[in-house]
Structures are given as C-alpha cells and as structure tokens.
C-alpha cells in the first residue's frame, strides 16, 4: 500500500486546482435578483448560471462558443467472459461509426454546435491513425483475474488524457465533455465506484448494455472477484486504475483532472465517466468543483458515485448509452441557464417596477 502511494506521487502529479471564483458566484447571485423575473423563479437554472460565471471568472458569463466532446474508446478483457450483451468487436465498429458521424453522440452534438473527437486508447483492433495517436495497448486485462494494465501503461494513459485536455483547451474549447465507447466498460467502472465507496457488488451492479439474468450474475461475480483484488489500493489512484480500471478509464481520469487544472468546466456523463471522475478527484483534489453532472444513468453505481462526488444531475431521462450522450442532452439546459443570466434585462434597464418600487411609492404618497 505504501509503495503504491509513493509511486503515485512520484509518477503522476497535477498542477494545483483553483476553486471557481466565489466573488463572481456571489455577483451572479446578486444579478439574478435584478433580472426581470420573480426571485428564484428560474429554479436550478440560476445556480447553474452562477456556477458557469464562477468558472469563467466573469459576470455576466458568456454563452459557450466552442463546446467539445472527446470520446475515449477502449476494450476490456472482462468482456470476453459474458458480462455484456454485445461482443467486444462492437467497440472498433462504433469507433468507425462515430468517426463517420453516425452515432448518437454525433447527432446530439450537431444540435448543440459541439465538436466531436474520438480517440482509440485501448481498442482491441487496428484503427485509423487519425484516432490512434494515443493508443496505449490493445484491450485492458480481465480484471477479475489479472491487472488491467502495467504501472507504466497506467501512467502513460493518464498522461494521454492530460495531453488531450491541454490540446482541446489550447485550441479554444470553453466547455468539455468526456464520452466513452467500450463493450464491457461498465464492469471496471462499477468496480472502481464500489471500491471507492465501500459498496457491495449486488447494490452496485446494473444491466449495462442490457444483459439477461445469467449475464447479470456473471457480471456480479466478476465485480466481486475484482473488488477483492483492488480494495487494498482504494487510496492509491494509479494502483487503482492499474489493477481494476483500464487504459480508457485512466485517460479519462487524466482528462478530467487536467480540465480542472486548466479552469475549464466539464459536463460529466454517465457511470463510466463518473467512475473516472472519482479517480480524477483523487489525482487532483478539488477538480469536482469544475464539473456538473449531466444526467443520472439507470446504472445503480452511478447514483452511488454522484452522491460521493456531491454532484446533482441536471437530467434524469433513464439513459444508459454512454458516448457522452447524457451530457450532451443536458448541454442546452446549461447553455440556457447562461443565456438567461447574460442576456435578460434588469428591472432598471427595462423600466419594470418591482415590489420594492411599489412599496416605496406607497410610502411616499402616504407621507
């Protein structure tokens, strides 16, 4: 345990995470009281707009101009052992589909004006060089019986995610979404969440892509066995990812941590991305202040992880696709929240009377 913790601190370090501006958040809350609406009448949109203002460091905030989705693709050895309703070959096929613009993530992103990029981190197949620049290996190990990665592979995957975040921010992204594509990836995600929250497998295991009862039983057994291997490493994020994560999850963790370091807000997607987010919070404490949860997945482990991170999802639509689809579905809500704070007139600007104005006028007439 001590060795894992020391090697983590020596091999993976992130810059400091600065908290989104409290001063600007308070200014946003004050501006909300001046807009032409009853106080609090926009409900949670008001809190979301204040969060964005705090992240941007300015009030009023600006609507997002360059949202970007990065889909991290990777295979998992555990998928060969009956934990998914689909064969592992689908991962590579879906990478090609996303590249061609035919997936749900592409359709949803198009409605939001968001760019989509897919990266092959550990697909168990040859993929086009345009998506495989950061490839670590072909498939991660079957975590119920072996480590997902070597230590060196884990560090390289985290660094790949960091580099991808830097590239997106350097190219002008002002909002990031991490998506994922990988048959069997809800199994390692559930293991990570269960290990970090001390949750029993039967309380955390979901149906993933839609496995039947026999598949659910196999998945539960695999998660139970992987938990036995990983629980000693719960406080050592690199060892955690090495033992029971995978290259795609490690890259997502690096991506989410670095986004926070670069002061760039993120909409977190479903159970797999949120599992990576839990590890990212270990790698870069305070990173979660830069994230908002897009939706609540039907996977039981997702609610467990959201509670641990203290993230309240924007939507709850019964989604479980992944790819960043839930985060993209929530994006128009977040964009709308920003638009109301940025573009609505104040009472003074519009010449609209407030209750306080009427009270003051009555008092003057009485005098």
The catalytic position among 168, 281, 299, 323 is 323
- 256 neighbors 291 (Cβ within 8 angstroms): yes
Query: Which two tokens mark 239?
Result: 């060892």
Query: Which two tokens mark 331?
Result: 């994006």
Which burial class, exposed, middle or buried, applies to 3 when counting CB atoms under 10 A from its CB (0-12, 13-18, 19+)? exposed
- Rounded to 10 deg, the angle between the 186-197 and 237-244 helix axes is 140
Q: How many CB atoms lie within 10 A of CB 316?
A: 12
Q: Is 16 helix (H, G, I), strand (E, B) or coil?
A: coil
Buried b (16+ CB within 10 A) or exposed e, 220-236: bbbbbbbbebbbebbeb
CA-wise closest residue to 242 among 138, 149, 136, 155: 149
Distance CA 81, CA 112 (A): 38
Q: How many CB atoms lie within 10 A of CB 86?
A: 16
CA-wise closest residue to 25 among 265, 347, 359, 351: 265
Distance CA 169, CA 90 (A): 30
Distance CA 121, CA 249 (A): 9
Longest distance between any two alpha carbons in the chain, whole Å: 84
Is residue 323 flagged as an active site residue? yes
Residues recognised as catalytic: 323
């Amino acid at each position: 345990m001590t060795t894992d913790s020391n090697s983590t601190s020596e091999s993976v370090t992130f810059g400091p995470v600065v908290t989104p501006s409290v001063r600007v958040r308070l200014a946003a809350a004050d501006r909300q009281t001046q807009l032409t609406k009853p106080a609090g009448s926009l409900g949670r949109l008001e809190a979301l707009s204040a969060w964005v203002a705090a992240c941007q460091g300015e009030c009023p905030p600006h609507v997002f101009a360059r949202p970007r989705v990065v889909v991290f693709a990777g295979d998992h050895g555990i998928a060969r052992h009956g934990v998914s309703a689909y064969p592992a070959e689908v991962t590579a096929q879906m990478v090609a589909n996303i590249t061609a613009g035919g997936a749900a993530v592409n359709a949803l992103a198009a409605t939001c004006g968001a760019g989509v990029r897919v990266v092959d981190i550990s697909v168990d197949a040859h993929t086009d060089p345009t998506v495989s620049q950061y490839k670590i290996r072909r498939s991660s190990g079957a975590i119920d019986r072996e480590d997902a990665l070597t230590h060196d592979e884990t560090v390289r995957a985290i660094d790949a995610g960091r580099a991808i975040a830097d590239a997106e921010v350097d190219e002008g992204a002002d909002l990031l979404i991490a998506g994922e594509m990988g048959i069997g990836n809800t199994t390692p995600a559930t293991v990570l969440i269960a290990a970090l929250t001390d949750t029993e497998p039967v309380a955390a295991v979901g149906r993933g892509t839609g496995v039947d009862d026999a598949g659910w039983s196999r998945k539960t057994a695999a998660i139970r066995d992987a938990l036995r291997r990983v629980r000693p490493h719960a406080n050592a994020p690199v060892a955690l990812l090495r033992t029971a994560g995978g290259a795609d999850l490690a890259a997502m963790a690096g991506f989410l941590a670095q986004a926070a370091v670069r002061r760039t807000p993120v909409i977190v997607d479903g159970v797999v991305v949120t599992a990576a987010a839990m590890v990212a919070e270990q790698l870069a404490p305070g990173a979660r202040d830069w994230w908002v949860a897009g939706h609540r997945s039907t996977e039981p482990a997702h609610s467990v992880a959201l509670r641990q991170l203290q993230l309240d999802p924007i939507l709850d639509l019964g989604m479980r696709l992944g790819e960043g689809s839930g985060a993209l579905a929530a994006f128009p809500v977040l964009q709308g929240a920003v638009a109301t704070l940025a573009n609505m007139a104040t009472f003074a600007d519009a010449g609209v009377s407030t209750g306080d104005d009427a009270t003051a006028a009555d008092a003057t007439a009485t005098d």
